[in-house]
Amino acid sequence: MQGGGENATTTDERHSSRVTFEVNGSSREVTLDNRTTLLDALREHLDLTGAKKGCDHGQCGSCTVLLDGRRVKSCLVFAVTLEGRSVVSVEGLAGPDELSPLQAAFIAHDAFQCGYCTPGQLCSARGMLDEVARGWPSAVTDDLSAPAELTDAEIRERMAGNLCRCAAYPHIVAAVRETAAAS
């Protein structure tokens, strides 16, 4: 009934690599199957299950993390490509036992229900606010030369890559708006 099995390890030397990258401020050295995505590295090898797997195809945004400060869908990134790079997942958005203003605003505005898309929403919003601060326009920005203004329409457009089946969207927008206004 069983084949290849127990003796064949999943970290077969021909198909695995050692990689060192920073996760939430700490350097982590791991040997991973070359096929392992950043999402699975976090969830299955580093016990950081905050980033969620909703589709594994980059279509839902639940796995969004920050890679060198920019938001990426971690299911579309191979972990072995991350040598020397820096990852922040939802677990690293605030210090231990702390909440970032964005996290606190999500609770205050009830910007989630089942909570499964929430880590991705939070990382995406954090990355998005930095993009706005850098003046990056979006598809709904009228004047590409003016500083980006964070209207509700801008927030909705810029957060459109993160699906929420519970449809907490109005509350997500409110939480992001409040956080942006306070910073």
Partner 1 sequence: MSTGAVGRAYPRLEGREKVTGTARYAVEYPVDGITYGWAVPSAVVRGRITRVDTTQALASPGVLAVVHHGNAPRLAPGPEPELWLLQEPAVHYRGQYVAVVVATSLEAAREGARLVRIDYDAGPHSTVLTDDHPGLYQPDHVNPSYPTDTAEGDFDAGYAAAPVRVDVTYRTPAYHNNPMEPHATTAQWRDGRLLVHDSNQGATSVRATLAELFEVPPESVRVVAQHVGGGFGSKGYAKAAVVLTALAARHVDRPVKLALTRQQIFGPIGYRTPTIQRVRLAADADGRLTAICHDAISQTSTIREFAEQTAVYTRSMYAAPHRRTTHRLVRLDVPTPFWMRAPGECPGAYALESAMDELALAVGIDPVELRIRNDTEVDPDQGRPFTSRNLVACLREGAQRFGWTDRDPTPRARRDGRWLIGTGMAGSSYPARARPSSARATARPDGSFLVQINATDIGTGARTAIWQVAADALGVPPERVEIHIGDTALPTAPLAGGSMGTASWSWAVIRAAQTLREKLQDLPGGVPADDVSADADTTDEVGGQPTLPRYAYGAQFAEVRVDADTGEVRLNRMLGVFAAGRVVNPTTARSQLIGGMTMGLSMALHEEGLLDERYGDWVNHDLATYHITGCADVESVEAYWLDEHDDELNPAGVKGIGEIGIVGAAAAIANAVHHATGVRVRDLPIRLDKLVGTSSLA
Q: Which residues bind partner 1 (CB under 8 A)?
A: 1-6, 8-10, 12, 15, 33, 35-36, 40, 43-44, 47-57, 59-60, 62, 89-91, 93-94, 99, 103, 106-108, 110, 112-119, 122, 152-153, 155-157, 159-160, 162-173
Integer angstrom CA distances of residue 6 from 2, 32, 69, 111, 157: 9, 18, 40, 45, 49
**CA dist., res. 136 & res. 146, Å (int):** 10
Phi, psi of 11, deg, nearest 5: -105, 45
Please, which residue, 21 or 176, has the CB nearer to partner 1?
A: 176
Smallest separation, CB 139 to partner 1 (Å): 9
Nearer to partner 1, 15 or 18 (CB): 15
Nearer to partner 1 by C-beta: 21 or 40?
40
Helix orientation angle between 118-133 and 169-182, rounded to the nearest 10 degrees? 40
DSSP 8-state assignment for residue 45: I
Q: How far is the CB of 60 from partner 1 (least distance, A)?
A: 5
CB of 26 to partner 1, least distance (A): 16
- How many Å apart are CA 132 and CA 137, to the nearest integer? 7
52 and 64 in contact (C-beta within 8 Å)? no
* Smallest separation (angstroms) from partner 1 to the CB of 51: 7
Q: Which is nearer to partner 1, 44 or 130 (CB)?
A: 44
